[in-house]
């Protein structure tokens, strides 16, 4: 082998070694500065509470500040765009509330794809909501309600926390499976919906389990839980599956996501830290009052990716039906 060839081989060996060493050093030194968690929804929402609970307990683990930045508006497109454009280095993360990560894909010319431009890091928790209707409606159960909607297509209104939000997606999934048609009234947050459902301003919505307190006070009716199993905390509430809408479930999954291309070692580092946090009783106790919340068991980025993929597939038929419009 000539000296020139040897020198060429040595150059490439050293180059590869340098790249590997730099990548290892980067992963080992992460994080060396503050981390930002973007929240695509306003303060006070579950996504915001999750982000702040994580930030409080991740900061001492990472020995760096973890900053929560609320960037609501435009159906989470603003927040999702920020994440998609962020450097894939682990310093910018987002709390994704499935299926809102699907929403950006419905817009034309947004410059990124919500299904492919994020890297799933950790599955945190999921929420089981309940179907709530105005107390003035002459219905006693879900079957009665579906029959009422079918008698007057387009007459009744449902409320969501905004176009493209999980509530919007699942309410249209309900209409799709029940073969009903209603008018969508988007709000800025679910907190604003409760007074209008109780007053009859809007007809129905999916609300957190905590809305059961309003049913007990006679202010609205709860027709069923949007899960396939009864919630252990509220065993008296039947599921919508039991009430006749077979196979219907509307879990809102919360995940930590990062920009696509974030190095696997850094993703693993963050995943391990998040697993440590969600396994603590102090984390889960912050959500008990909301009801209907299940903390995910510690898992891998691969599992989080599977959750994203599964939710994406669930909505394929709905999106193809043309019932959801983001324009």
Is 204 within a domain? yes
Measured from the Cβ of residue 138, the count of other Cβ atoms closer than 10 Å reads 7
Q: Are residues 151 and 216 in the same domain?
A: yes
Same domain, 160 and 221: yes
Alpha-helix residue ranges (DSSP H) falling in the chain:
3-29, 46-62, 77-85, 142-151, 166-178, 193-199, 212-216, 264-278, 281-284, 301-314, 316-320
Q: Is residue 244 part of a domain?
A: no
Co-location of 35 and 60 in the same domain:
yes
Average pLDDT, the chain: 85
Model confidence pLDDT, tens digit, residues 84-109: 899 999 999 999 887 655 554 555 44
Asked if residue 193 is part of any domain, the answer here is: yes
274 pLDDT higher than 90: yes
Say yes or no: 146 and 195 in one domain. Answer: yes
Selection from 104, 137, 148 nearest residue 312 by Cα: 104
Helix or strand or coil: residue 47?
helix
How does pLDDT run across 132-173, given as a tens digit for each residue? Answer: 999 999 999 999 999 999 999 999 999 998 877 778 888 999
Mark whether 139 and 287 lie in a shared domain.
Answer: no
Which residues, including other chains, have CB under 8 Å from residue 127's CB and lie 6 or more apart? Answer: 46, 208, 209, 251, 252, 254, 290, 292, 293, 294
**pLDDT, tens digit (0-9, with 9 covering 90-100), for 38-73:** 998 888 888 899 999 999 999 999 999 999 999 986
What range defines the domain where residue 208 resides? Answer: 130-225
Domain count, the chain: 2
Q: Which CATH number fits the domain that encloses residue 77?
A: 3.40.190.150
């Amino acid at each position: 082998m000539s000296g020139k060839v040897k020198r060429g081989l040595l150059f490439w060996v050293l180059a590869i070694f340098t790249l590997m060493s730099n990548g290892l050093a980067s992963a080992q030194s992460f994080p060396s500065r503050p981390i930002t968690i973007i929240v695509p929804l306003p303060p006070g929402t579950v996504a915001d509470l999750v982000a702040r609970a994580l930030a409080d307990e991740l900061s001492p683990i990472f020995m760096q500040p973890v900053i929560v930045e609320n960037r609501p508006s435009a159906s989470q497109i603003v927040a999702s765009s920020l994440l998609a454009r962020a450097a894939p280095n682990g310093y910018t993360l987002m709390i994704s509330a499935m299926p809102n990560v699907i929403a950006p894909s419905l817009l034309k010319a947004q410059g990124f794809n919500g299904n492919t431009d994020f890297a799933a890091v950790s599955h945190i928790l999921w929420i089981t909501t309940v179907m709530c209707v105005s107390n003035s409606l002459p219905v006693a159960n879900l079957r009665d309600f579906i029959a009422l909607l079918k008698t007057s297509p387009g007459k009744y209104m449902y409320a969501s926390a905004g176009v493209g939000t999980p509530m919007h997606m699942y309410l249209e999934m309900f209409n799709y499976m029940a073969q009903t048609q209603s008018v969508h009234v988007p709000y800025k947050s679910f907190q604003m919906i409760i007074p209008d459902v109780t007053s009859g301003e809007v007809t129905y919505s999916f609300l957190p389990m905590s809305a059961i307190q309003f049913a007990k006070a006679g202010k609205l009716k709860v027709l069923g839980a949007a899960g396939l199993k009864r919630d252990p905390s509220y065993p008296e509430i039947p599921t919508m599956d039991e009430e006749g809408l077979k196979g219907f479930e509307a879990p809102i999954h919360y995940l930590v996501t990062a920009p696509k291309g974030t190095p696997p070692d850094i993703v693993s580092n963050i995943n391990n830290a998040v697993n440590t946090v969600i396994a603590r009783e102090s984390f889960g106790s912050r959500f008990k009052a909301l009801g209907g919340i299940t903390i995910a068991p510690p898992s891998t980025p691969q599992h989080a990716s599977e959750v994203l993929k599964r939710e994406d597939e669930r909505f394929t038929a709905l999106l193809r039906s043309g019932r959801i419009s983001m324009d």
